[in-house]
Amino acid sequence: MTGGTSPFDAYDDDPEDRSGGTGGDAGGDPGAPGDSGTPGGPQAPTGPTGPTGPDGDDPGGPPRIPLPRSSVEDTGLPLPHPTTAPVPPTPPPPPPAPLVLEHRVLKALLGAWALAACSAEEALAVEEHLGTCGSCADEARRLREAVGLLHPAESLDLAPSLRTQVLETCLGRRPPRVPVPRWAAPYDAEAARLDALLQDIGDADWHTPVRLRWFEGGGPVSRRTTVAGVIAHLLTVDGLVATALGLDDPLDGLEPHPDDGTPTARTEAYWKASHFPPTRAVRAPWREQSHNIVRTTAFTGGGADDSDTSGRPAVSYCAFELPLRDALLDRAFECWIHAEDIAEAVDYPYEPPSGRHLHGMIDLAARMLPLSLAERRRTGLASPPRRHLAAAGAPGRSLRLEIEGSGGGEWLIPLDSPAGVGSAAHEVAHVALDGVEFCRLTAGHVPPQEAAAGQNGDRQAIQDVLFAAAALSRM
């Protein structure tokens, strides 16, 4: 089958090209009325709804096939009993007339026949016809064989690690001229993982309720949305990175405009602006934007190394700013956490990120803890520092955060000032947590009081840090 005239092209645009044009239909012979010498010949094949002309079909017109006659079995009348019927006083009821259809109609039925999707009478008529019509018999055999090729699509989940392996093999064979910066890899990987999940879920799943949970001030809060609503949320907040990179803002032209540029305000504005709840249609723009973000970091990010070259745009979250590389780590983290929200809602398994990527996310959270702590102090939610005005860059009281499992490590969190430097010599407390548990804590999915943490040392400092971790979360 070749390009221009293939049925793929002809489809849809060309309503006139009905049943013809696919080959095999030798000239649409209008089935001579007398071409079947089958019983009942004279009264066939026209009826009240019979064919009106060779090709005078209009799509909305009457069906070309006479409606199947009801057989005597369906009438409730006694069946004629040929052997016991003596000389009837009245003429016998006519035998049930077999359906007689013209060649063209029978040919059009072949697909339905091959799929056993026509009535018994029609099937019988087709089968009788096949005995006398070579071209239909050939096609019938071909279509029957084709039915054997149909089978349910098996949904094979591709292991996310395969993506990493394949890409690494490729890049090893031919080093890229425009590499993706290493710090953009977690975002790239998490978006791909979420997209694979989205590909697997059904249309209805997109409307499954999801409760977004996070931690604000003193306790947990939540907001109800749907799977599609979550993707809309990711789209709008990823939009902060997109705009910092000079890409289009998904909120452009939105009415009403968000109150401010916080992730929450942007999300609420996006949700409000659509007349209908978001559908799976939101997947494509989200994915396109995430691809564009990765692509653009490759051009603006300045190489694959981890050096933080200046001049790279910072991403504004309204209340704070993050350097691009941290913002992308943050978005990777959010992508994973919300993918988990979705997976849980639609009852799919979902794994944590790879250890390498998880480590970057944990490191970002650890680096942000002192700021979160300071913010909670400022609002009276955490205990005051012990030593006021610890000199910037000077070692101060510290908490050792030990993260276990894949992606783990140790961090010394300065307790008294965001500008301070963690110091083992000034360690006052030690907390040990599993990496995924720590991430769920910073996502606000695990209350700080319940975080399964091994602790040792200054209890107040530990509590402050765990709450500060939870306070890193947002919608």
Partner 1 sequence: MAAKDAPPRWDRKMQQRLARGEAAALGELYDRFSSLVHGLAHRVLSDERAADGITREVFVHLWENPESYDPKQGPLRSWVAALTHRLAVQRLRATETAALARSGEGTSEDLERKVRQASVAARADYIVQAMPAPLRAALELAYFQRRDYRQTATDLGVTEDEARRRLRLGLQLLATAHDTRPSGAPPEYGGAV
204 contributes a contact to partner 1 by CB under 8 A:
no
The yes or no reply on residue 276 touching partner 1 (CB under 8 A) is no
Only segment of 102-110, 269-277, 305-313, 413-421 that touches partner 1 (CB under 8 A): 102-110
Tell me which of 48, 77, 177, 388 binds partner 1, using CB under 8 A.
177
Binding partner 1 by CB under 8 A: which of 207, 213, 223, 280? Answer: 280
Question: Is the Cβ of residue 36 or residue 297 nearer to partner 1 in the bound state?
Answer: 297
DSSP-derived 3-state class of residue 135: helix
* Candidate list 49, 52, 75, 199; residue touching partner 1; CB under 8 A: 199
CA 441 to CA 191: how far, in whole Å?
21
Give, as ranges, the residues between 284 and 313 that touch partner 1 (CB under 8 A): 284, 287, 291, 294-295, 298
**379 three-state secondary structure:** coil
Which spans in 282-354 are helix H? 283-300, 324-346
In the complex, the smallest distance separating the C-beta of residue 71 from partner 1, rounded to whole angstroms, is 17
Residue whose CB is less far from partner 1, 79 or 149? 149
Nearest CB to partner 1, comparing residues 62 and 393 = 62
Contact 396, 426 (CB under 8 A): yes
Q: Which of residues 104-143 bind partner 1 (CB under 8 A)?
A: 108-112, 114-115, 117-119, 139, 142-143
Q: Which residues pair with 432 in a beta bridge?
A: 402, 454
Which spans in 395-446 are helix H? 435-442
CB of 455 to partner 1, least distance (A): 41
Residues 147-176 that bind partner 1 (CB under 8 A): 147, 149-150, 152-154, 156, 158-159, 162-163, 165-167, 169-171, 173-176
Q: Are 468 and 438 in contact (CB under 8 A)?
A: no
Q: Do the beta carbons of residue 247 and residue 296 sit within 8 Å?
A: yes
Binding residues among 24-43 for partner 1 as defined by CB under 8 A:
24
Residue 112 or 374: the one with the smaller Cβ distance to partner 1 is 112
* C-alpha radius of gyration, the chain, whole number: 35
- CA 215, 219, 220, 222 torsion-angle sign: negative
For β-strands 395-404 and 421-434, DSSP reports them as: parallel
Q: Three-state SS for 311?
A: coil
CA–CA distance, 402 with 460 (Å, rounded to integer): 18
413 vs 141, 433, 461, CA distance in Å?
A: 75, 14, 10
Residue with smaller CB distance to partner 1, 195 or 326: 195
How far is Cα 96 from Cα 292, in angstroms, rounded to an integer? 68
Question: Which tokens is 375 given?
Answer: 């913010």
> What is the smallest separation between the CB atom of 173 and partner 1, expressed in angstroms?
6
Binding mask 330-359 for partner 1 (x = CB under 8 A): ------------------------------
- Residues touching partner 1, count (CB under 8 A): 72
- Roughly how many angstroms between the first and final C-alpha of the chain, as a whole number? 53
User: Of these, 55, 127, 145, 308, which contacts partner 1 (CB under 8 A)?
Assistant: 145
For partner 1, the closer of residues 238 and 427 by Cβ is: 238
Q: Which is nearer to partner 1, 139 or 326 (CB)?
A: 139
Q: Which C-beta is closer to partner 1: that of 159 or that of 389?
A: 159
Rounded Cα distance between 367 and 323, Å, is 13
The region that residue 198 occupies, defined by phi over 0 for left and psi between -120 and 50 for alpha, beta otherwise, is alpha
Q: What is the 3-state secondary structure (H, E, C) of 84-112?
A: CCCCCCCCCCCCCCCCCCCHHHHHHCHHH
Nearest distance in Å: CB 341, partner 1: 22
**Residue at 152: amino acid letter:** P
Choose, by CB under 8 A, the member of 101, 180, 329, 390 that binds partner 1: 180
Residues 59-98 that bind partner 1 (CB under 8 A): 59-60, 63-65
How many CB atoms sit inside 10 A of residue 400's CB?
A: 18
d(CA 40, CA 42): 6
CB of 192 to partner 1, least distance (A): 6
Exactly one of 7, 34, 209, 277 binds partner 1 (CB under 8 A); that residue is 7
Q: Give the 3-state secondary structure of 449-460.
A: HHCCCEEEECHH
Shortest Å distance, C-beta 462 to partner 1: 41
Binders of partner 1 among residues 376 to 395 (CB under 8 A) are: none
Q: Given the complex with partner 1, which of 5 and 222 has the nearer CB atom?
A: 5
Instruction: Tell which one of 18, 211, 272, 459 touches partner 1 (CB under 8 A).
Output: 18
Q: How far is the CB of 109 from partner 1 (least distance, A)?
A: 6
Based on the shown chain and the rule CB under 8 A, indicate whether residue 178 belongs to the binding site for partner 1.
Answer: yes
The nearer residue to partner 1, 23 or 39, going by C-beta atoms, is 23
Tokens of 242: 């997109």
Q: 201: helix, coil or strand? A: coil
Judge whether 468 and 382 are in contact, CB under 8 Å.
Answer: yes
Minimum gap (Å) between residue 183 Cβ and partner 1: 14
In angstroms, what is the minimal distance from the CB of 158 to partner 1?
Answer: 6
